[in-house]
Amino acid sequence: LLVDRRSMGERRLWTNRDPVALERNNLVSISQLVIKSVVDSSLRFGRQLDSDNTPLHQLFVVLDLALRHGLKTSRRLLLGKRELWDLLQNVEKFDHAASDITATVRDLTTVKTAAGRARAWVRLALMQKKLADYLKILVDNKDLIAEFYEPEALICSEEGVLLTGLLVSLNIVDCNLCLKEEDLDNQEGVIDLSYYLRRKEDIGRDDNNEVVEEKDINTVIDQKNYIEEMNRNLAANVTNLQARIESLTNTNALMREDLAINKKKIGTLQHENNSLNMEVEKQLNMANLSRVMKSEVEKYNDLDPKKENEIEDKLSDEKIAKSELEKELHLEIQMKAEMEMAMKLLEKDVHEKQDTIISLRSQLEDIKSINLEMYTKLAECEKSLTYKSDIIQKLEMKTVAMADTLQQLDQKFVDTEKSFSGSKTQNADLRSRVVESESKIVE
């Protein structure tokens, strides 16, 4: 229908009409219908189109036929056969944005042939929304395309400019295609034209009910997807909060252990402080005794000088011991104050952690309640979806029944028309007989 499989030399032999021009016109017309169908499906569903979309698949088939129309098939002496992929690789010389998709296609391991790489390049350019720009670069560069195409090819003619303008409308379409899952080396070149043909009976028919039902189903599906996404987010938040609660409980247990250890240390330090206080009191008593003894020594200066020197040495030793004990007491007092401060800080931190654990538990309860509400809403949406699908099936059955009744009515109408025409002929015969009988009576 779209492409004549004969060579250009055989097609030039046609003198009455130009079959190549008919091929170009057919390709442009089918491209216009397919592009319109792709844009309508994208606007109707309001989401990205994937590889399962039928109009998008047919668009790639039409583009492959259009780009290969008039491609030279003769082999070169050293470089071999010309391929479309060799032409598409030259686009990156004129537009640096094409270098990314060209490098991606070169690195594909699932595509083995040059035709498959050309198809992969077209799909990546469509996802990049620059397919029309790249094709315009090829159409404008006449010297480059003259090496790969015949003069009667679509790209070299005015239809190539028209096809470039049609492809601009695809910039509003979002596509999400997985090239590794498609068999790009062996692509079907057949287009189902039944999507674009309408019967006379379908023209002017009101499809508002079907559109409304389709919109309702799409809204229900969107709501279901939104609820599932919210459910996943809430489940992730619940797991995160549970992990935080576990970490906080572990830190709280560690803090309690540290608090018990610090209390034990404080008890031992208090015991040591009491013992040191007892020793300080003993030393003070000894100092008082030394003073008394010194006063007594002063009273009795007539004692032996050797004993006096011994007593003074003992007194100096007692003073040194007393100063050391006072220093130790001061250090113990400072350590006691620091430990009390640390105990207060630990108790404050423990209280704060307990408050955060309580708040997190309350948040967890709220999230659980929200999750239950989401589950109920999801169940309601699924029920409504099943109900609407049942209604749609019933309506389809009704439409089939109505179509059958319409066919029966049409058959009855045809039968009545036949009987009516037969009765007319009989009436005419009867009138003719009546006229003949009247004429005979008159005679």
- pLDDT tens string 87-111: 899 999 998 888 989 999 998 888 8
- Calculate the average pLDDT of the chain: 81
- How many angstroms separate the CA atoms of 72 and 147, rounded? 8
Is residue 171 scored above 50 in pLDDT? yes
Residues 6+ apart with CB under 8 A from 269: 332, 335, 336, 339
The dihedral region occupied by 304, where left means phi > 0, alpha psi between -120 and 50, and beta the remainder, is beta
Q: How confident is the model at residue 206 (pLDDT cuts 50, 70, 90)?
A: very low
Amino acid at 89: Q
The model carries a pTM of 0.46
Lowest mean pLDDT among 82-96, 180-194, 198-212, 318-332: 198-212
| pLDDT for 15 | 45
Residue 169's nearest CA partner among 46, 33, 25, 2 is 33
Is residue 189 scored above 70 in pLDDT? no
| pLDDT for 203 | 45
Over residues 124-150, the pLDDT tens digits come to 999 988 999 999 999 999 988 888 899
| pLDDT for 14 | 47
Lowest mean pLDDT among 29-33, 118-122, 303-307: 303-307
pLDDT winner (highest mean) among 67-81, 191-205, 345-359: 345-359
Is residue 337 scored above 90 in pLDDT? no
- How many angstroms separate the CA atoms of 117 and 85, rounded? 6
| pLDDT for 124 | 92
Is residue 268 scored above 80 in pLDDT? yes
Over residues 351-404, the pLDDT tens digits come to 888 888 888 888 888 888 888 888 888 888 888 888 888 898 899 899 889 989
Inter-CA distances, 195 with 37, 38, 327, Å: 9, 12, 101
Please state, as a whole number, how many other Cβ atoms lie within 10 Å of the Cβ of residue 125. 25
| pLDDT for 134 | 92
